[in-house]
């Protein structure tokens, strides 16, 4: 059964994606990609799906509040891997938090994600949406080759479990070669840009052809 993302993106862009899909959500600073990512995660709550957020920019408290702001209902199964603060094993406003020492601790992120995967299985959560906000800080800590290897394993886990992966990146923070290399690991991309009349988005890779740019702020 596809993962529904209608009511988040304009229908002419995308309404659903297949299980096991990994999408790159690409947009510059202040483009609202973090909010869009959280909205895409929250869309699954009404379907009984769980959500995981790996945060490399904002502490768990901020993520939890932002996630609650876009929810229409209860949390459901919600876990956070926090790479920027120290509160391992704690709960923040109903969200279970797993702490990792820094955005550069890729091994730690992988270990915590594997633990969450086991926990979700024990809780009979078969469908999970995984959001990664953001990949850009990781490249300040590790080189591109190491990040590529890590993401290959991480996205493969999502694919093999028929989950949905959503990974934010700021293309303006990297050279085009880095973005192109990372993009190879993903099934498609949601691109956001800031136009004269507001935000616009298009989708590539998971549609028959790249979509046109469509206004997000109507």
Q: What is the pLDDT of residues 70-105, one digit of tens each?
A: 997 788 999 999 999 866 557 777 789 999 999 999
Contacts of 207 (CB under 8 A, 6+ apart): 13, 14, 188
The mean pLDDT value for 14-37 works out to 96
The mean pLDDT value for 196-216 works out to 95
62 vs 73, residue with greater confidence: 62
pTM of the predicted protein model: 0.96
Whose tokens are 């956070």? That residue is 80
pLDDT at 174 over 80: yes
Distance of CA 100 to the CA centre of its chain: 17
Query: Cα(86)–Cα(102) distance, rounded to whole angstroms?
Result: 10
The mean pLDDT value for 185-189 works out to 98
* CATH 3.40.50.300 describes domain 3-211: yes
């Amino acid at each position: 059964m596809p993962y529904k993302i209608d009511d988040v993106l304009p229908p002419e862009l995308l309404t659903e994606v297949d299980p096991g899909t990994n999408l790159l959500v690409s947009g510059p600073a202040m483009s609202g990609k973090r909010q869009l990512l959280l909205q895409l995660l929250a869309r699954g709550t009404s379907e009984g799906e769980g959500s995981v957020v790996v945060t490399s920019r904002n502490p768990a408290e901020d993520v939890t509040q932002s996630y609650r702001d876009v929810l229409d209902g209860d949390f459901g199964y919600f876990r956070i891997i926090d790479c920027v603060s120290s509160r391992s094993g704690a709960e923040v406003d109903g969200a279970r938090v797993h702490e990792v020492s820094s955005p550069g601790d890729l091994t730690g992120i992988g270990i915590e994600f594997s633990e969450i995967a086991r926990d979700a299985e024990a809780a009979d959560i078969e469908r999970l949406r995984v959001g990664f906000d953001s990949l850009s800080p990781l490249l300040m800590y590790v080189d591109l080759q190491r990040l590529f290897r890590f993401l290959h394993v991480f996205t493969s886990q999502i694919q093999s479990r028929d989950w949905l992966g959503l990974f934010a990146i700021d293309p303006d923070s990297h050279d085009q070669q880095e973005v192109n290399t990372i993009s190879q690991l993903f099934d498609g991309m949601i691109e956001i840009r800031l136009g004269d009349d507001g935000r616009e988005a298009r989708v590539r890779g998971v549609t028959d052809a790249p979509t046109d740019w469509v206004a997000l702020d109507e």
